[in-house]
Amino acid sequence: MITCIAIDDEPLALKQMAAYVTKTPFLELKAQFDSALEASAYLQDQPVDLMFVDINMPDLNGMDFVKSLQNGPKVIFTTAYSEYAVEGFKVDAVDYLLKPIGYFDFLRAASKARERMGTAPKEETYLESNNEFLFIKTEYKAMRINLNDITYIESMREYVRLHLINQKPVMTLLSMKKMEAALPDHQFMRVHRSYIVNLNRITTVERLRIIFDEKTFIPVSDQYKEKFQEYLDRHFLM
């Protein structure tokens, strides 16, 4: 587990960064600060492995804060200004995230930090399954997930995220190919490079977009369109 802190003087940006850290399995958020001065005082007694640091902050900006630390944690900079990128890499930053920051870019930067620290797992999560449930063995625990509780599965680079009914999503280190092979094909179908859907959970299809709710639209790509259309035709009442 990589311990980390987040520093940003913008409340919404800090809240988002903390949320990203919390849902990433290999990160543990120890504290969050709206001031680099407060973070500096914290680090004197509470060392961590990694910091997510905004550059543009009052009193002490993020760049000067990092430069002031001796043998400080690894750092990933966050900022709305691209001109700081070169300076960021001069202080050996792991990465540089330009706001607004999406979770995919965040996860990529965090994975890069893990690789640099030598804590990345060498093997994917091992998966056990049958036609009713599956066990996902993560780095720290094994979770039983009922297949009927899955709405869809999303690829997140080397991870997959399982979106569940009335539960928080579960993310684990696993390829989509292995995930697809472990699922019963009468219930699950890959409809996009990045998505596998639970066919039993589909309620609305509009122009080859699968609509789970007002915020969730899963596209059906050209590669999988014919197979998905065949499924619809078999179940279409004429």
* pLDDT tens-digit series, residues 158-200: 788 899 998 888 888 888 888 998 899 899 999 999 999 999 9
Average pLDDT over residues 201-206: 90
CA distance 186 to 167: 24
- Check pLDDT > 60 for residue 86: no
Question: Would 94 be classed as within a structural domain?
Answer: yes
**In this structure, are 8 and 113 located in the same domain?**
yes
Average pLDDT over residues 60-77: 88
- Non-local (6+) Cβ contacts of 119 within 8 A are 2, 26
Q: Greater confidence, 150 or 103?
A: 150
**In this structure, are 110 and 131 located in the same domain?**
no
CATH code of the domain containing 67: 3.40.50.2300
In sequence order, which ranges of the chain are alpha helices (DSSP H)? 11-22, 36-45, 62-68, 85-90, 103-117, 176-182, 222-234
Choosing from 94, 117, 140, the residue where a domain stops is 117
Question: Would 23 be classed as within a structural domain?
Answer: yes
Choosing from 50, 85, 117, the residue where a domain stops is 117
Question: Would 154 be classed as within a structural domain?
Answer: yes
Question: Would 193 be classed as within a structural domain?
Answer: yes
The three-state secondary structure class of 89 is helix
**In this structure, are 73 and 7 located in the same domain?**
yes
- Nearest residue to 52 via CA among 23, 30, 25, 81: 30
Tally the C-alpha atoms within 13 A of residue 144's C-alpha that lie toward its C-beta. Answer: 5
The overall pTM is greater than 0.95: no
Question: Would 122 be classed as within a structural domain?
Answer: no
pLDDT of residue 144: 86
Q: How many domains does the chain have?
A: 2
CA distance 125 to 139: 8
| Domain limits for position 26 | 2-117
**In this structure, are 69 and 150 located in the same domain?**
no
**In this structure, are 35 and 96 located in the same domain?**
yes
